[in-house]
Amino acid sequence: MARVPAVVLFDVVETLFSLERVGTLLRAAGLGDDGVDRWFPRFLRDGIALATSGDFRPFREVAQSSLRDALRTAGADASDGVVDTVLEGFGALDAYDDVRPALEFLRDRSIRVMTLSNGSAASTRALLDRASLSPLVAGVLSADEVRLWKPRPEPYLHACTVAGLPPDRVALVAVHAWDIQGAASAGLITGWCARLEREYSPLFRTPDATGETLLNLVHALATLEAAQ
């Protein structure tokens, strides 16, 4: 049975920070009101396919390539200027309203908070600084450090090494079921927030805790079987 984690790793994009601002830019670029849905899954597909086959490309490079493809498919302008304008939106993502109370809840219980993203550590730090959340986060980690994207096991296990703890004392929190599957396969405790996908895929390993919001979820993680 899973125990209360000593460290909680948070995914970043769509878990801590909303893509609404990028969606506005995608609409202006010609991808319509469902621009995020038309592009972001394609972006994730490409990055995960590279990782599955043992290859690596940085977040921005995958984002540029997949966005050009999505724009061309829509018959929209796929020039460098348009692509760069959309991707600049990643530097201005807004944190969800439930993020600060969730991080404060963990801080008040002496549970360390770290982030683990397929994006760069520098971009995550900038987002945390912009949202005044940096004081609540003990460490910022990136898949760049192992040159393989999640859901490969290497990023999760690297995070455990940095935290100085075995996987069964570290939790991964995410809104993406594929991320939960990757972390569970690597032996971590898992917490899935239903905000984005609503229904958890029965194909994947069952998360140890779930919640409609991040605050609900961290409450659930904190009430797992007490560590011996």
139-196 confidence digits (pLDDT tens): 999 999 999 999 999 999 999 999 999 999 999 999 999 999 999 999 999 999 999 9
Please check the confidence at residue 15 and state whether its pLDDT lies above 90. Answer: yes
Confidence label for 65 from pLDDT (cuts 50, 70 and 90): very high
pLDDT, residue 2, reads 81
- The domain segmentation of the chain, as residue ranges, is 7-17+94-222, 20-92
CATH assignment of 7-17+94-222, among 3.20.20.220, 3.90.1150.10, 3.40.50.1000, 3.40.50.12160: 3.40.50.1000
Per CATH, 7-17+94-222 and 20-92 having the same topology is answered no
Angle between helices 177-185 and 153-163 (to 10 degrees): 70
> 20-92 — its CATH code?
1.10.150.240
Q: What is the DSSP letter of 204?
A: S
Backbone φ, ψ for residue 183 (5° rounding) = -65, -40
| 94: its two tokens | 């807004």
Rounded to 10 deg, the angle between the 35-52 and 59-73 helix axes is 130
Report the amino acid identity of residue 159. A
Residue 226 confidence class, pLDDT cut points 50, 70, 90 = low
- 88 DSSP β-pair partners: none
pLDDT surpassing 70 at residue 84? yes
Structure confidence at residue 227 (pLDDT) = 42
- Exposure of 160 in the CB half-sphere (CA atoms within 13 A): 20
Res 225: pLDDT: 81
- For 58-67, what is the mean pLDDT? 98
